Structure 1
Amino acid sequence: MSAPHAPLWASAFRPFFLLGALYAPLLAAAGVAAWGAGVTLPAHWHAHEMLFGFATAIVVGVLLTALPSWAGTAELHGAPLATLAALWLAGRVAFWASPWLPAALVAAADLALPLLLAAWLAPPLWRVRRRVWRAVLPIVLALAAANAAFHAAAGDAALAQRALRAALWVLVLLFTLGGGLLTPVFTGNALRAAGRGAPAATSWPLEAAALAALLALAGADVAGVAGAPAAGLALAALVLQGWRVARWRGWRALDAPLVAGLHAGFAWLLAAFALKALADAGLLPRAWPDALWVHAFTVGALGQVMLSLMTRVALRHTGRALQPPRALAWTGWAVAAATLARLAAAVLGDASWPGAALLLWSAAFAGWAAVTGRWLIAPSLPRGGVPRR
């Protein structure tokens, strides 16, 4: 079987989930090794690679798998998919080798994937019947723009930090929009299967208000707005997102593991908004860093939802029943423990806690890859096939 026609290249979730899940422990190992050897890594190295390396891989895998099913676009597979995966790898190699390469070459390699992805998505998204799906394109371009701004910072630490913060807010936006589409649907399926009713019907005025509040909060944060105005925006985002999440009635489906993981992720999102509101209002102890909310979102919300979605997609699209293997049951708890450890590290100022958090979090994704990796590189089971534990 020739390489472009191997099962790995049959659907985007296969290579990109595997790359992302394996990159998480690699980043952890590199960080721990550098710390142990007394080596100082380049500024913003960890943040950049978590956003534009790890998270981008999972986002691409989800988008390119979901759009054919939900928006009706053609599925990318074979050589074009392998090209996108190669560009992701090229970006990572270039960034790791950035001390020895021209800055323009590193930027070009790092930006090639999102720009080519946007170019591929633009024509089919423009033709879809439901125009809401066109929102994917500006989100991908916004992520690319934030990365371009990071590279353009050229040693300006403040500008680089602002670019990374902009990229973080793009992920928050994608999280709330994508998760807000999928979570109530999957929750409704679980509730109806158990005879427990269904989520409340979508309230489009509420969706619009929640989106507007989020965009206002993101814009203010990237612009450096702080104090009472920022606290008010964070509180508005918290209330509107909390109202939105409550309408999904997820507490009735917590015995469905794949659904519980999604709601755990949104719980961490709400915690992140609450922490930001308290920090901007000056209501947190002075010793506590203002960026606590960032850890709640990146470690907790993203980690929980990514693991849940990755597992659901891998099961469904390889012909397996939507019942996660017992071997993965610990991964969600590991992410929760990692989030608490990361928050404790920021509060207590203990240098050992960040390492523990990083190891727990990366172990969850390494464990996911160990269990599901064989599914991703093998042909899908026939319809009705029995999943292997």
Structure 2
Amino acid sequence: MTKRDTYKGPALFSYGFRPFFLSACLFALVVIPVWWLIWRGEVTLAGPLSPVDWHIHEMVFGYGAAVVAGFLFTAVPNWTGRLPTRGRPLALLLALWVAGRVAVGGLTGLGPVAVALIDQAFLLAVVAMIAREIVGGRNWRNLKVLVPVTLLWLANILFYAEAMTQGSAEHGRRLGIALLVFLILLIGGRIVPSFTRNWLAQRGASRLPVAFDRFDMLCLAGGAAALIAWVLAPLHPVSAWLAGAAALLHLVRLLRWRGLATWRSPLLLMLHLAYLLAPLGFAALAAAAAGLASTASGTHILGIGAVGGMTVAVMMRATMGHTGRGLVAGPTLTAAFGLVLIAAAVRAGAQALSYAGLDGIDLAAGLWTVAFGLLAWRIGPWLIQPKVARKAPSAPAGR
């Protein structure tokens, strides 16, 4: 019997996706209503960051970092063939994440330096633990995943440094979002065509997604250049041109993956739709730099749409697959994903909606909250219960 079979601890700490996906869902469910109360002036934030900095920081380094950790601590064992991190080490890592959320929220009464030291410990531990597994498994080709994750840890430190010295973390906000978007371009560009290829091959399709090639490398380079320019000078003409080029490149990249052929598989189609928000976000950044759109539109298309949509789709699929459930989205999870995309559209168009007498910020916050309420209600029990024996599928795999 292997060590994998002899684990007798709580199911919640049996695999990396369980505690971090559950924590991310519950945190996303709570943090946006809290932000809405802060924005409305009903609640005063006691932490070291300004309200806007706190909002963006917690969506990137709170919610986003939790999903990244859950994904990596689930994917790396598959890449390396080593046993997954589980039990006490996983519980301690979760405790680091919780400590960061408590400290940043001002519930400890500590100063900004102490809060920064507590909060940065989580991503540092993630980088160290993932590096140990990849090196130990001699899985050298996946070492590149450590680069954006390490940069995300450094971005968190820079966020605090800028906030403490400049009063707000203007560059830190964009850098955090940019790194999450790049992770979607990198990892999404790996899993979306792979899952699509498998699903289409099972159905005897003659045309399959184009395999990773030099064009994908060009797309990643173009996306990185556009994101760097946006972080440094979002309204510069060069940023407009780079973002426009990135939008075109990634739209073409997505079309090469045959997403339209997956319309019978909602769970798979979600991944394609979430990735679509990346080129749409780049297009919005280009429009903002050219003075044709608000600066917030592209930020929210990328943040809520691309990051929010992709993380929700990945959490759904990974949870189903690793807990023994069939890969069938069903109406509840399909609605949750749809509400996230609608929230992105509403928040990006908040200024236009205001002319019609509608409060886009209120509506987007409500849509996001309902979406994560549905997500937590559906997959939450699966994340804390033991894995079940997979039943014979009642629908084609991948739906």
Unaligned stretches of 5+ in structure 2? Answer: 1-6, 395-399
Larger mean CA deviation between 46-55 and 197-206 belongs to 197-206
Question: Which residue is 1:218 aligned to?
Answer: 227
Letter of the 1:336 counterpart: L
Q: What is residue 24 of structure 2 aligned with on the other side?
A: 20
Tell me what 1:325 maps to.
330
SS of aligned partner of 2:349: helix
Is the counterpart of residue 254 in structure 1 residue 258 in structure 2?
Answer: no
Identity among equivalent pairs (%):
34
2:389 aligned residue: 382
Partner residue in 1 for 2:13 = 9
Q: Return the offset for 1:84.
A: 0.8
Q: Secondary structure at the match of 1:322?
A: coil
**Aligned match of 2:309:** 304
How far apart are 1:330 and its partner, in Å? 1.1
Which digits, 9 at most, give the CA deviation of each residue in 1:281-303, with x for residues without a partner? 33x1xxx4123111111111122
Q: Distance in 1 between matches of 2:190 and 2:109?
A: 43
Q: Structure 2 CA distance, aligned partners of 1:183 and 1:194? A: 17
Structure 1 residues 70 and 198: CA distance shift in structure 2, 3 A: farther
Query: Which residue, 38, 63, 88 being the options, matches 1:34?
Result: 38
2:199 is the alignment partner of 1:190: yes
Distance 2:342 2:60 in 1: 21
8 Å CA contact 1:188, 1:198 repeated in 2: no
Equivalent residue letter for 1:328: L
> Is this contact kept in 1: 2:196–2:209, CA < 8 A?
no
TM-score by length of 2: 0.89
CA contact (8 A) 2:103 2:118 kept: yes
Q: In the alignment, is residue 92 of structure 1 matched against residue 97 of structure 2?
A: no
1-structure distance, mates of 2:169, 2:38: 22
Separation of aligned partners in 2, 1:98 and 1:156: 22
Offset, 1:337: 1.7
Partner of 1:181: 190
Provide Cα deviations, 1:97-148, integer angstroms capped at 9, x if missing partner: 1682122220111011111111112233235555331012121110111110
Structure 2 residue aligned with 1:242: 251
Which of 72, 77, 81 lines up with 2:81 in the alignment?
72
List aligned pairs for 1:41-190, cutoff 5 A: 41=45, 42-43=50-51, 44-97=53-106, 100-157=109-166, 160-190=169-199
Contact 1:289 1:347 in 2 (8 A): no
Deviation at 1:265, TM superposition (A): 0.6
Distance 1:80 1:113 in 2: 12
With over 3 angstroms needed to count, the CA separation of the structure-2 counterparts of 1:221 and 1:95, relative to structure 1, is: same
> Out of 272, 276, 282, which is 1:263 matched to?
272
Paired with 1:266 and 1:9, the residues of 2 have a C-alpha distance of 30
Offset of residue 272 of structure 1: 0.6
**C-alpha distance in 2 between matches for 1:271 and 1:181:** 20
Unaligned runs of 5+ in 1: none
Q: 1:344 aligns with which of 333, 345, 349?
A: 349
Conserved 8 A contact 1:231-1:277? yes
Q: TM-score, normalised by structure 1?
A: 0.91
Rounded Cα–Cα distance in structure 1 between residues aligned with 2:314 and 2:8: 25
In 1, Cα distance between the equivalents of 2:198 and 2:298? 31
Q: CA RMSD in A?
A: 2.2
Question: How far 1:381 moved relative to its partner?
Answer: 0.4
Whole-Å Cα distance in 2 between the matches of residues 135 and 18 of structure 1?
Answer: 27
Partner of 1:361: 368
